[in-house]
Amino acid sequence: MSKKKLTRAQLRERMESIRLDLIQRIEAEDAGLSDAVEDIAARREKVFNPETGFRFFLETYFPHHIRGDSWSEFHDYLIDDVVPRITQSPEAEAEADAAPRGEAKTTLGVQIKSLWDEVRNAKHNVVIISDVEDQAAGSVEVIKTELTENKRLALDFPEVCGVGRRWRVGEIITRQGNKIKAYGSGMKLRGTKHGARRPDMAYLDDIENDENVETPRQRAKLMEWVNKAVLPLGAAGEKFDVLYVGTILHYDSVLNRVLANPFWTSRRFQAIIKWPENMDLWDEWETIYKHEGRKAAKEFYEANEAEMLAGSKVSWEQRPLLLLMTIRARIGKEAFDCEYQNEPVSGEDAIFANMIEAAQFADKDLPSDLIWFGALDPSLGKRNANRDPSAILIGGWHRATVTLYVVVAQIRRRVPDKIIEDVIRLQKQYKCRLWAVEIVQFQEFLKTELTKRGLQQGIPIPARGVKPIADKELRIESIQPHMENGYIRIHKDNTELIDQLRRFPKHAHDDGPDALQMLWALAVGNSAPIEWQSVRPSETHDDFDDDLDEDNTKSMWAR
């Protein structure tokens, strides 16, 4: 959920609560470090090592932030790969990582990383951006508290620690003269300059919430803000690094778009890396848990533990499979897939998600005796602001097994002339018996133009106009049982169609699944075998004069 902006008094109260809680945790840890000059010098040298310094810094000065004695896959990647790479690269780095909830993304990737840069005087103008400004201000408060209260840090870096010349809620200028300021996502980034310096480091820390990812317009607006307001913050020709950490809240979220952008270095992490081989036992365990309680569920688990764990792998020993499955049972599969798996629509709503892998086929699996059909969704003249792509699908109907093999799925934005050109080229190659073309508004003209140009080129296009009546989502849902039963197969190279099906109904576009439904209906309704039917001469017109066969019958086509 989105967070309401706090009043000034509420914000001060929240920052003080953060400060006092952290002080209590810091004081619970004995300094435990030698104050010998040579030992301090040795530790400082290790901190300044660009390859291993961040891990040493974290483990030596911040034991109060470390939970347990193991690190997750995300932690190891962040500590040993991301931070050293950003530190050592002479060029600007843009890193985006999606990690499960509860993996200290903010603590490690924003707060302690900022402190490491501060003790090394490596960054001079840092911007921290969160979903709301108050959240980012909380990170600044943690940094302030560590600089004033962390005895371990003060022992080895006295010149860095202490109150700086500006010490406000959400903004500081440290003793070394470096600026760190908090912002909320979507804010006007005013006052980002620090003297003559433009920002040289930006942290995007969970900048989305459940509400601002719901509509395409909101997602597009935030994406535009990142591209136009955040990424250009750095000075021309100077190193400006961006570290984006968060959890994917929607398939078309800003974070998920960034993960797919090759100009960012990115990784996606999941709490459960490999699911157990026997999920039936977990389903039974969940039923017991919900209806008979924790004790009965525990007894069931202990009796079947080995089999229930077989084949599974989790990303963090600190969070074992039993704990994760308990969370999953409590919050629901859809919420778990989003918050812990970074797969926001892999729950029950994604009706094709669990069968899409089994539905795929390779070239070697394609039968030879196929009847070809085509489907076209031009996506022209529709009232949508998203400029949906057009979809051209070619499928082969295998009569013996009543199975549709989708071999071509071209889903992309293109002008009408290009659509017509592509359909004619595919018709020349596959010689489809029939085409289904969606006709809505301007699209009916396109169908007419398509058939005319095909004839002009000597390639007839047997096109049938299809005007949708039922709701699109219901139409697409109607093919789900057929795919589940193995009657709809999709070539593994048709990745965009596969992706749209996997994310349906929350994918940004559904033109591929819509065209697939048209193709299925067309193939099923027009692939009946053509049979010979014998007709006696007496049943024909008297003037019908033709050679007779031995049975004195004549033949004509009939379905």
pLDDT tens for 462-482 read 999 999 888 899 999 999 999
pLDDT value at residue 493: 85
Residue 191's pLDDT is: 72
Whole-number pLDDT of residue 484: 94
Q: Rounded CA gap, 477 and 93, in Å?
A: 43
Mean pLDDT, residues 506-528 taken together = 91
pLDDT for residue 553: 34
Where is average pLDDT lowest: 87-96, 230-239, 343-352, 542-551?
Answer: 542-551
Cβ contacts of 241 within 8 Å, gap of 6 or more: 86, 92, 93, 94, 95, 200, 201, 202
pLDDT at 290 over 50: yes
Model pLDDT, residue 559: 31
Supply the pLDDT for residue 544.
35
pLDDT average, residue stretch 67-74: 90
For the chain, give percent helix, strand, coil, nearest 5.
45, 15, 40
Rounded Cα distance, 421 and 429, in Å: 13
Tens digits of residue pLDDT in 91-145: 999 999 999 999 999 999 999 999 999 999 999 999 999 999 999 999 999 999 9
Answer yes or no: are the C-beta atoms of 103 and 133 closer than 8 Å: no
Place of tokens 């709301």: 132
Looking at this protein, which amino acid is placed at residue 101?
R
How many helices and strands in the chain, by DSSP H and E?
A: 21, 19
Q: Is 201 helix (H, G, I), strand (E, B) or coil?
A: strand
- Burial of residue 513 (CB within 10 Å: 0-12, 13-18, 19+) is buried
pLDDT at 26 over 80: no
Determine the average pLDDT of the residues in 418-433: 97
302 vs 354, higher pLDDT: 302
Confidence band for 387, pLDDT divided at 50, 70 and 90: low
Phi and psi at residue 469, in whole multiples of 5°? -115, -50
Whole-number Cα distances in Å, 207 to 48, 110, 352: 30, 13, 30
- Cβ partners under 8 Å of residue 556, min gap 6: 533, 535
User: Which fold is adopted by the domain 8-268?
Assistant: Rossmann fold (3.40.50)
Proportion of the chain above pLDDT 90, given as a percent: 70
Residue type, 404: L
Helix or strand run (H / E) with residue 244 = strand 241-246
* Segment 3-12 long-range contacts (CB within 8 Å, at least 24 positions apart): 3/131, 3/132, 3/134, 3/135, 3/209, 5/132, 5/133, 5/134, 6/134, 11/134, 11/137, 11/169, 12/169
The mean-pLDDT minimum among 3-7, 185-189, 405-409, 410-414 falls in 3-7
Distance separating alpha carbons of residues 340 and 267, to the nearest angstrom: 14
Q: Which residue has the tokens 């066969």?
A: 549
Q: What's the rounded mean pLDDT across residues 384-400?
A: 83
Q: How far apart are the first and last CA of the chain?
A: 59
Residue 365, pLDDT above cutoff 60: yes
Q: Does pLDDT of 532 surpass 80?
A: no
The pLDDT of residue 310 is above 50 = yes
Task: Tell me how far the alpha carbon of residue 441 is from its chain's centroid.
Answer: 34
Look at residue 552 in the predicted model and tell me its pLDDT.
Answer: 39
Alpha carbon distance 280, 110 (integer Å) = 40
Q: What average pLDDT does the segment 330-334 reach? A: 85
Q: Where does the pLDDT of residue 396 fall: very low under 50, low under 70, confident under 90, or very high at 90 and above?
A: very high
Mean pLDDT estimate for the chain: 88
pLDDT at residue 531, as a whole number: 56
In the predicted structure, residue 548 carries a pLDDT above the cut 70: no
**DSSP β-bridge partners for residue 532:** 557
Per DSSP, helices labelled H in 100-215 are 105-106, 113-119, 133-149, 151-156
301, containing H or E segment: helix 294-309
Task: Yes or no: say if 491 and 406 are a contact pair by the CB < 8 Å rule.
Answer: yes
Q: Which of 239, 258, 167 is nearest to 201 (CA)?
A: 239
Q: Could you give the C-alpha distances from 227 to 148, 233, 271, 550, in angstroms and in order?
A: 36, 10, 30, 80
Whether 8 has a pLDDT exceeding 80, the answer reads no
Give the Å distances, CA to CA, from 334 to 175, 286, 316, 337, 427: 47, 15, 21, 5, 42
Please, what sign has the CA dihedral across residues 533, 534, 539, 544? positive
Separation CA 451–CA 444 (nearest Å): 11
Looking at residue 30, what is its pLDDT? 58
CA distance 243 to 235: 17
Q: How far apart are CA 376 and CA 373, in angstroms?
A: 10
Q: What is the pLDDT of residue 549?
A: 42
Q: Which of 219-233, 424-438, 457-471, 503-517 has the lowest mean pLDDT?
A: 503-517
Are residues 118 and 289 in contact, defined by beta-carbon separation less than 8 angstroms?
no
pLDDT confidence bin for 25, thresholds 50/70/90: low
CA atoms of 115 and 58, how far apart (whole Å): 10
Which region, left, alpha or beta, applies to residue 253 given φ > 0 means left and ψ of -120 to 50 means alpha? beta
Question: What pLDDT was estimated at residue 259?
Answer: 95
* Contact (Cβ atoms closer than 8 angstroms) between residue 57 and residue 47: yes
Stretch 355-372: mean pLDDT: 93
| Region 246-270 average pLDDT | 94
Q: In what order do the strands lie in the sheet with 371-377?
A: 360-361, 488-491, 403-412, 390-398, 371-377, 434-438, 463-466
- By three-state DSSP, how is residue 111 classified? helix
Specify the pLDDT at position 229: 95
Helix axes 53-61 and 37-47, enclosed angle (nearest 10): 130
Architecture per CATH, domain 360-525, reads as: 2-Layer Sandwich (3.30)
Per-residue confidence at 9, pLDDT binned at 50, 70, 90?
confident
Residue with tokens 């980012």: 136
Of the pLDDT bands very low, low, confident and very high (cuts 50, 70, 90), residue 535 is low
Position 504 pLDDT exceeds 70:
yes
- Other beta carbons within 10 Å of 427: 22
Q: Kindly state the helix (H) or strand (E) to which residue 284 belongs, with its residue range.
A: helix 279-292
- The answer, yes or no, to whether the previous bond of 505 is cis (omega within 30 of 0) is yes
- Residue spans of the domains in the chain: they are 8-268, 272-339, 360-525, 530-559
The rounded Cα 496 to chain-centroid distance in angstroms is 14
pLDDT of residue 555: 32
Name the band, by pLDDT with cuts 50, 70 and 90, for residue 80: very high
Asked whether the beta carbons of 139 and 111 are under 8 A apart, the reply is yes
Position 10 scores a pLDDT of: 78
Residue entry with tokens 């058939």: 451
> Is pLDDT of 537 > 60?
no
